[in-house]
Amino acid sequence: MGSSVHPSLMAEAEQASSESVEGSVTEYEFSESENKHFAALGWSMRYAGLGWFLACMVLILLLVESLEALQGASGFVSIVASALAALFLIMMGFSSFRASGYIFMLVRTEGHDISHLVRGLDHLRRIFSLQTVLAMVLAVAGISLLAWLRL
């Protein structure tokens, strides 16, 4: 069950390794059993990231196919909304994919489990921040639409 870890992430891991030797501070190392859980999490995050990218591509294809039919103010709103949704999906995909790389590094390297875990959690925080922003935007848009419809 091998996975590809992005070269830039591996470079960060090697740099952290050399810094640890110099500072002689050893981090907690997760057990084989714990690493299996992290590996499963990494794969789930990787698949989620790929799913977000795929959803974005489908949205862009649908938008391109329907450009001729979208005319006037409502067409403009649809195009802008679709473009923003595609941007959101790309950001979710990138954050999920990037976070999975840190989780995989946690499993594959030694001596820096906590550092990799913290970096992975930081990317997960970004995912939840994006979801919070999206929820707020949708709530405001929904309330605005309801108010407009009642006029």
Other beta carbons less than 10 A from residue 110's beta carbon: 12
Confidence at residue 88, expressed as pLDDT on a 0 to 100 scale: 87
Q: What is the pLDDT of residues 34-87, one digit of tens each?
A: 999 999 999 999 999 999 999 999 988 888 877 777 776 667 777 778 888 888
Q: What is the pLDDT of residues 95-132, one digit of tens each?
A: 898 889 999 998 998 888 998 999 989 988 988 998 89
Helices of type H across the chain: 7-23, 32-65, 72-108, 113-150
Cβ contact 97:46 at 8 Å: yes
Confidence at residue 151, expressed as pLDDT on a 0 to 100 scale: 73
Q: For 3-7, 93-97, 113-117, 131-135, which range has the lowest pLDDT when averaged over its residues?
A: 3-7
Cβ contact 59:81 at 8 Å: no
Which element (helix H / strand E) includes 15? helix 7-23
Angle, helices 32-65/72-108, rounded to nearest 10 degrees = 160
Query: Residue 21: pLDDT band by 50, 70, 90 thresholds?
Result: very low
Confidence at residue 25, expressed as pLDDT on a 0 to 100 scale: 62
Q: What is the mean pLDDT of residues 21-34?
A: 74
Domain ranges of the chain: 30-150
| Longest distance between any two alpha carbons in the chain, whole Å | 69
